[in-house]
A and B are shown apart, each in its own frame.
Chain A
Amino acid sequence: MAVLVLAEHDNASLKPATLNAVAAAEALGGDLHVLVAGAGCRPAAEAAAKVKGVAKVLLADDAVLAHPLAEDLAPLIAKLALGYSHVLAPTTTAGKNVMPRAAALLDVAQISDITAVVSADTFVRPIYAGNALATVQSKDKVKIITVRGTAFPAVAAEGGSAAIETIAALGSAGLSTYKGAELSKSERPELTAARIVISGGRGMQSGDNFHLLDKIADKLHAAVGASRAAVDAGFVPNDYQVGQTGKIVAPDLYIAVGISGAIQHLAGMKDSKVIVAINKDEEAPIFQIADYGMVGDLFKILPELEAELDKQVK
């Protein structure tokens, strides 16, 4: 049986997380189909058709799916799922919102946030903020899965030439209406896709001070993140949050500035390749997992770091 992946997209293009979910689907074997549900989303479907390894793209293009509300999208996923062995989505807020609803409509369990495929019915997923890894086996007829992007290297966005099949949406459930969004605008790479991430914590003391991180991020083409403490204090918006219940990142380089290293924060970044910690408290738990720790005043260190990068990055 074939495997279906729910694409994450903005109608015009695919979000990078889709390519990680496709990678997990490839590990399962079988024909690989991608569902692009949206409004005016043919460009995203065309992008999905080019993804390496994809055999078919299902395009549900309907005004009712303009801002995929779980109440309207989950019944479509549940209906399609009957023809598949597995349905996967990235562990993004969109995937987390809609997939459990589809699973319950099918009367099956969901396997959340998998980090490895052991076999067609057995998967590894982190529990307790990543402090334990559970290997679970599903006995359900169709497996509904969300995929932790950082655990599956993205497949190539080019190289495929899948057919696009248009399918009908199911109409509105009449339960919910999209009213609007306040999305952070940034020229920088997306947190979960960036090669370098620099994050600030409570030690930054104010939102204004985050410009010290911005300057370094600009030099390194890095994304800027934050700990929960910094978001709760109102220094930066919620979409900056890295951690157990925020975003999970695993960049080549993670620079933690003024972050003490609570379990919940470590859960979101401890799989980074190289970790740098800058903190004035040498007892801070972040240093235990940092490859390079620097004890000192971040307000002195950050300008120095910026100047040093200027010197060496030619």
Chain B
Amino acid sequence: MKGPFRFQWSQPRPALAWRVGLAWIILFLCALPLQGEQISSQGDSILERSHRFLTLSDESVRMVLLGTILMGLSCGVMGGLVVTRRLSLFGDTLSHAVLPGVAVGFLWSQSKDSWAILVGATVAGFLGVALISLLRKTSRIRQDSALGLVLSGFYALGICMLTRIQKMEFGNQSGIDKYLFGQVVGLSSSDLWTMAFSCLLILTLTILLYKELLVAGFDSEYARSIGRPVDFLQYLLWLLLAFAVITSLQVVGVVLVSALLVIPAATASLITDKMRAILIWSAMLGCMAGATGAFLSFLGNQLPTGPIIVLVSAVFFLWALFFHPQNGLFFKWLAARNRNQRISLENTLKAVYQELESINFQKETTSVSQLAKRRRIGMPQAHRETDALVARQYATIHPVEDKLAAPPRPTLLSLTPKGWGTACRIVRNHRLWELYLTNEARYAPDHVHDDAEKIEHVLGEETVRRIERILSNPKKDPHGKLIPSQQDIDRGFIA
């Protein structure tokens, strides 16, 4: 990678990143509003609306932003823990399994009390998880079927219960849609307190038990052998996951919660392969997606917040997939393209050298048509490759001054000192490698050409020097052709 494409994507310093993250939480906890109102922004221009959003002057804007950020943080951290353990599908199942619990919470408190819902949903989530492990232990059902079974069964039950509740007298605020698809403007301050509580719990326990979670996740048998309660940690993980899922339900809805668990964590694992960094990146990406999604849906007025947040995370994911400096597909493609261009260029130079060699270096020029013949390519491509040589100052072209020749007049080509040097180097690499293979690796002389065709482009100076030493500075290759020497390169011609 060269030039403008090389930029550094610096790794976050863990301590700093944590501090920044905590500062954000504290900032927003301080700004915790007490009363929410519907966002009404009919008739505002986009500029006005983005001004209102960015200055946080609106009570409801503050609440929405706080909610989405807290959700991004909780789901990001939990997602990091879950995805690295290959439990993403568990997250999905859990998010559906909590739905009947939400309904029970409604019935219990006879209103939309977020604490009652949290308790009910957690219990339902645990029932779901327990059912999965029970199914696996007592029957021949495999894990994926058990997950699917619990997911759909609990989901169906939850929808039936919520629909029924909607028709009861206290059920007017329940709104089944809220839980299925999320409705961020409906967040109340008690919802936010619940979210803040669960987020704080998740962060605290993840930091305190980082070491234990790491060893249990990597090597549970070993963790047991040093006396760590692996099963307890597993249940704790479910509990925290349930909290993250339940508190996010109102923002993005049952169906999309798992996206927020999986996408930021998957993005983070594209960026780094260290657990600590994955958790930090995942949390930050979750927050950023939450905040950006809230902003965009506010600007768009009618756009649903949950899906927008998920889309923003997906965009982050695609960005990392293509533009990560080391692993990004775009940079890999770019590097492959550069390499192919270089190889093609070097092959053309080699062809020019061989053309000159075939006339014993009597002349310093060769024509494009001869080049095309030697490389077995058409004239248009030969011209393109010649142009590439000229553009990089490896060669110069001059039209033939023979007035008698019919148009199109042949173009003559001569190498610059730079072009001559590179051509010599490639031919030298090729012939040295052939000689090395025949003399040292005992290849037959007619087996070495194809290998040398590839190796000639990748041999480094260091390796070439070593081969020279091993072969004690040879003059001729296995086919009896001269190997151009350093003097030939300096001199500019073969003597």
Are A and B genuine complex partners? no
